Amino acid sequence: MKYAWLDQYCSEKRGATKDYKEEWKATRYTVGGKMFALQGSDNANRPIISLKLPPTDGDFLRGQYKDITPGYYLNKIHWNSVYLDGSVPDDVLRGMIDKSYGLLF
């Protein structure tokens, strides 16, 4: 995977827990019982991670990167999906994870 650091980065957030949802075929990262990241794949089996962001931040990033789209099977206003086989820079993805986590922590 292009973002080999992803699982460790999400798992090491203070208070974060990780579980696998068989019915979703996805790994869920939570803090305080609330999800801040969901890693799985879309219907075409492309790997994705979905992250919660303020709507204006999500809109801006979607306009900047073709591999950031409205949340896959999630609220399209607050959630954004990043294709992990795409070209989103590492620092942008880390920033999205940090912001998603920060909204809940």
| pLDDT tens-digit map of 51-85 | 999 999 999 999 999 999 999 989 999 999 999 99
Question: What pLDDT, on a 0 to 100 scale, did the predictor assign at position 1?
Answer: 58
By the 8 A CB rule, do 57 and 99 touch? yes
Q: What is the pLDDT of residues 37-56, one digit of tens each?
A: 999 999 899 999 999 999 99
Give the pLDDT band of residue 2 (cuts 50, 70, 90). confident
d(CA 28, CA 11): 10
Average model confidence (pLDDT) across the chain? 95
User: pTM for the whole thing?
Assistant: 0.95
CATH fit for domain 6-104, picks 3.10.129.10, 3.40.50.150, 2.40.128.690, 3.90.1150.30: 3.90.1150.30
